[in-house]
């Protein structure tokens, strides 16, 4: 690989190191600090002139802080004359604010796309967007990777029988159907509603047979764990045998850990698109690394090769 530099924003150091280990390069030298007046400062400590630069930012709370760190880093890299500024955002901030479905509300995901682009990014690489249409909020290239294969491979290796894939709401039915095709098993749909703008969701019934079955709930993200708990409780009520859950983004805020610990859930599997600190890594939570997927995408973009080839389970089985 030629003329490539990979820089970590402050909370993304571990993820960046994993990417760099895969690429067999050292992370770029960068100094990110915060002054006493709350202003952030970034200095790139090596030349990036005419280079292919990748800035990695993992959006763990506080999210707004992460956004400023990213924007300032993009600006520093732009003013240092990088050729390409590729922003790697394994979890896209504000992705749940993706449409104007009520009067006088913002579409913050679109605003995010606009400010990242305005700051100087020439490409964004992200993963499992809450709404795939967010890709189109950018005028620059936006590559959307997926945690699907990492999660599928994990459950495939577990060799679970009598399996049913659970869709947490009507919106996730399409995705659940895809997983059910992969595992060659049925799906069941939970009726979930969210009436207000808070984090509370209500599940009322299960459509499909889960009695005595090994159920796996697939979702894009687990944030407060509200949706997950509603789903787990209803599956338990309807007689599911074992309840597994999987999500690309383990945000795990608020009471999520406590709720998971005290629930009938057998195992929750997430990837590290959002760093999961040690204190959140309870026995029931398994964290899989998605950094190799990002590293392979970076390698292929840098070498001007197809990224689409990594969108197959074969790739994950053989690497």
| Least spacing, CB of residue 145 vs ligand R5P, in Å | 18
Q: What dihedral angle (degrees, nearest 10) is formed by the CA atoms of 205, 207, 213, 214?
A: -80
Beta strands per DSSP E along the chain: 4-8, 30-34, 40-44, 52-56, 84-89, 123-127, 141-145, 163-167, 187-193, 202-207, 214-222, 242-250, 267-271, 285-288
* Tokens read off for 294: 């990002």
Cβ-in-10-Å burial (0-12, 13-18, 19+) of 19 comes to: buried
By CB under 6 A, the residues from 170 to 189 that bind ligand R5P are: 172
Which x/- pattern over 85-124 shows residues binding ligand R5P (rule: CB under 6 A)? -----------x----------------------------
**Cα angle value 84/86/88 (rounded, 5°):** 170
Residue 192 among the catalytic residues: yes
Residue 128 as a binder of ligand R5P (CB under 6 A): the answer is no
Tell me how far, at minimum, the Cβ of 205 lies from ligand R5P, in Å. 17
Residue 54 or 218: the one with the smaller Cβ distance to ligand R5P is 218
Specify whether the CB–CB gap between 243 and 213 falls below 8 A: no
The residue annotated as part of the active site, out of 110, 192, 213, 299, is: 192
* Per CB under 6 A, 168 contacts ligand R5P: yes
Show the binding pattern over residues 215-254: x = contacts ligand R5P (CB under 6 A), - = does not: ----xxxxxxxxxx--------------------------
Nearest approach, Cβ of residue 210 and ligand R5P (Å): 18
Residue positions annotated with a catalytic role: 192
Residue ranges in contact with ligand R5P by CB under 6 A? 96, 168, 172, 199, 201, 219-228
């Amino acid at each position: 690989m030629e003329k490539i530099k990979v820089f970590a924003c402050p909370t993304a150091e571990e993820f960046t190191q994993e990417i760099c280990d895969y690429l067999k390069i050292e992370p770029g030298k960068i100094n990110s600090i915060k002054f006493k007046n709350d202003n952030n400062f970034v200095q790139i400590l090596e030349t990036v002139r005419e280079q292919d630069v990748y800035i990695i930012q993992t959006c763990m709370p506080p999210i707004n802080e992460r956004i400023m760190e990213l924007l300032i880093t993009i600006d520093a890299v732009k003013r240092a004359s990088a050729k390409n500024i590729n922003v790697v955002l394994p979890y896209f901030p504000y992705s749940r604010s993706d449409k104007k479905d009520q009067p006088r509300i913002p579409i913050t995901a679109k605003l995010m796309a606009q400010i990242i682009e305005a700051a100087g990014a020439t490409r964004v690489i992200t993963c499992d967007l809450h709404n795939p249409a967010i890709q189109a909020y950018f005028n620059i290239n936006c590559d959307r990777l997926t945690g699907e294969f990492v999660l599928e491979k994990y459950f495939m290796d577990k060799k679970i029988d009598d399996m049913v894939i659970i869709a947490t709401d009507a919106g996730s039915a399409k995705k659940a159907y895809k997983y059910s095709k992969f595992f060659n098993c049925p799906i069941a749909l939970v009726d979930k509603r969210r009436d207000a703008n808070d984090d509370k969701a209500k599940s009322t019934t299960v459509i499909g047979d889960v009695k005595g079955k090994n159920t796996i709930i697939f979702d894009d993200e687990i944030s407060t764990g509200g949706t997950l708990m509603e789903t787990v409780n209803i599956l338990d009520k309807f007689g599911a045998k074992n309840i597994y859950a999987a999500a690309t983004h383990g945000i795990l805020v608020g009471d999520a850990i406590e709720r998971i610990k005290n629930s009938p859930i057998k195992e929750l599997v997430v990837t590290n698109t959002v760093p999961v600190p040690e204190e959140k890594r309870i026995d029931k939570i398994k964290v899989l690394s998605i950094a190799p997927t990002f590293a392979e995408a970076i390698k292929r973009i840098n070498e001007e090769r197809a990224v689409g080839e990594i969108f197959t389970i074969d790739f994950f089985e053989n690497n």
